[in-house]
A and B are shown apart, each in its own frame.
Chain A
Amino acid sequence: ETGVTQTPRHLVMGMTNKKSLKCEQHLGHNAMYWYKQSAKKPLELMFVYNFKEQTENNSVPSRFSPECPNSSHLFLHLHTLQPEDSALYLCASSQEITGELFFGEGSRLTVL
């Protein structure tokens, strides 16, 4: 099992669709993160969960809705997205909030 697994790897959706991204970590970490990565821009932190509790929501539009049912799983529910939401969405985990991040390979999202 790889450390952090994300599915699907690629997703194309229309603006009216509802879809979800899934992340699973097999490292026993306590913190999980969603990041957005756009070309030639810094990583944008979207959400942080620590011990299943959301500790960070960086002014993310409500069309992105996270869910963390346990410390190993993290979801990002998507609905009525915009074309500018097209990006690579990276999930990461760490043992502590300040620690080294372990990233998944990302879900490449295209919104038509």
Chain B
Amino acid sequence: GQNIDQPTEMTATEGAIVQINCTYQTSGFNGLFWYQQHAGEAPTFLSYNVLDGLEEKGRFSSFLSRSKGYSYLLLKELQMKDSASYLCAVLDSNYQLIWGAGTKLIIKP
């Protein structure tokens, strides 16, 4: 079966750095997405990786290793507004999006 694993919940301190991991086992791979979802709001697109390596976008970076079936989302200089759920999703060989259950990130002052 297809599976996406990510931690259920993480806690970090304002101003610090946090890394949210995502591992996947899917039938084929056509890219990996990260979405952010604040409580009671719509998920919003953060990043898309299809090649190995690090993609940086301001305070957020996303890394992919296709050989290891692994990605992480790195958040720097954490702010209180970064408290949200972070969803990892993989596009499989049939171009179906396979979703993880999301990681709830709690930022403490």
Interface residue tally of chain B, by bracket? 20 to 34
Do residues A45 and B33 form an inter-chain contact, with CB atoms below 8 A?
no
With A41-B101, A43-B99: A105-B42 Cβ-Cβ less than 8 Å: yes
How far apart sit A60 and B98, CA to CA, in the bound complex (Å)? 17
Do residues A42 and B30 form an inter-chain contact, with CB atoms below 8 A?
no
B1-17 at interface with A (beta carbon < 8 Å):
4, 8
Do residues B42 and A90 form an inter-chain contact, with CB atoms below 8 A?
yes
A contact patch SS: loop
How far apart sit A98 and B33, CA to CA, in the bound complex (Å)? 11
How far apart sit A104 and B41, CA to CA, in the bound complex (Å)? 8
A95-112 at interface with B (beta carbon < 8 Å):
97-98, 100-106
With A4-B42, A90-B42, A105-B42: A43-B33 Cβ-Cβ less than 8 Å: no
Within the complex, the shortest CB–CB distance from A87 to chain B, in Å, comes to 14
Interface residues of A (CB under 8 A from B): 4, 40-43, 45, 90, 97-98, 100-106
